[in-house]
Structure formats: structure tokens, C-alpha cells
Amino acid sequence: MEKRDENISAMCKPSIGEAGRTGDWRTLRPVIDQTRCIPSVKKKSACFLCWLYCPEGVVKAAIPVEIDLDYCKGCGICAEECPAKAIQMVREDQSDE
């Protein structure tokens, strides 16, 4: 009998563009405060929980951390998970970036 792979789950790997470009329906966008973001403050690769948890795979684990807003869906998970509270979800109609 074939051995069952216990590691198989219903999860899929996030990847940029999996659900296409976001378009104009997003109501909130993440804005990173680099003065609080751990890699920027410490000037070294650290934390990157936003990269880890983003379901769209649109966070670049770099210094500084970057978010590809063309594909970001505005779910706010990155802001929820950020231990430094460095990400604010800003209303699209109040954002001038």
C-alpha cells in the first residue's frame, strides 16, 4: 500500500499575480513607517513577518521592506502581524501616495 504524505494540505503557495492585478477596488492600503520597521531600524535582515504572512506574496523581504501595491489586496494581515506596529492601513481615498 502506498504511504500517505502527511505534509499534503489544502494550502497553496502565494505568488505575485496569482489573483491578478488588484485594480481599483481595494479600499485600504498598507503604508510602512520605516522609522519603526525592524530591518530599517537595525539595518539588517530581521523580522520580515509581513513577508512571511502576506497571502499574496507581494512583500519584498529587503531593506527597506517594499510592498507591490499593484497586487496587494489590502487585507491588512501584514499590519496585524507586524510586531513593531510599523504598518498602517490607510484608506485609499485618504492616501496621497
**What residues line the site for ligand SF4 (CB under 6 A)?**
30, 32, 37-39, 47-50, 54, 56, 58-59, 65, 67, 72-78, 82, 84, 86-87
In the complex, minimum distance from the CB of residue 8 to ligand SF4, in angstroms, rounded to a whole number: 25
* Spatial distance between the Cα atoms of 46 and 37, rounded to a whole number of angstroms: 10
| Cα–Cα distance measured from residue 94 to residue 96, given in angstroms and rounded to the nearest whole number | 7
Give the nearest distance from C-beta 4 to ligand SF4 in angstroms.
Answer: 32
Angstrom CA distances, 45 to 39, 64, 72, stand at 5, 10, 22
Nearer to ligand SF4, 5 or 65 (CB): 65
Nearer to ligand SF4, 5 or 89 (CB): 89
CB 30 within 8 A of CB 58: no
